[in-house]
Amino acid sequence: MFDVKVLGSGCANCKTTYQRIEAVCAENGITVTLEKVEDIAQIMSYGILSTPGVVVDGKIAHAGGVPDKKTVLSWFKTRCCPGNDSCC
């Protein structure tokens, strides 16, 4: 299971990023705990200056703009099965 946080003020890009992560995980059978973080102080504690930001298992995976599905999937593949593209 992965712990994923979407960091942002609640703008359209942040909401789309959250929904895209949900969809990619559902489509690929990836179990995540997904959380929205809208508190500015908490967002800044990660060093994110451009939102939406995405933190996967405590590490910044993305900042600024909406990631495409392939990018989202890559965050999980590199952590659950490095070097195995058939995983996830």
Topology (CATH) of 2-80: Glutaredoxin (3.40.30)
Note the pLDDT of residue 25: 97
Tens digits of per-residue pLDDT, 42-87? 999 999 989 999 999 999 999 999 999 999 999 998 655 545 444 5
For the chain, the DSSP string reads -EEEEEESSS-HHHHHHHHHHHHHHHHHT--EEEEEE--HHHHHHTT--SSSEEEETTEEEEESSPPPHHHHHHHHHHHHSTT-TT--
Which residue type occupies 22?
Answer: E
Domain boundaries, the chain: 2-80
Note the pLDDT of residue 32: 97
Note the pLDDT of residue 82: 47
- pTM assigned to the model: 0.86
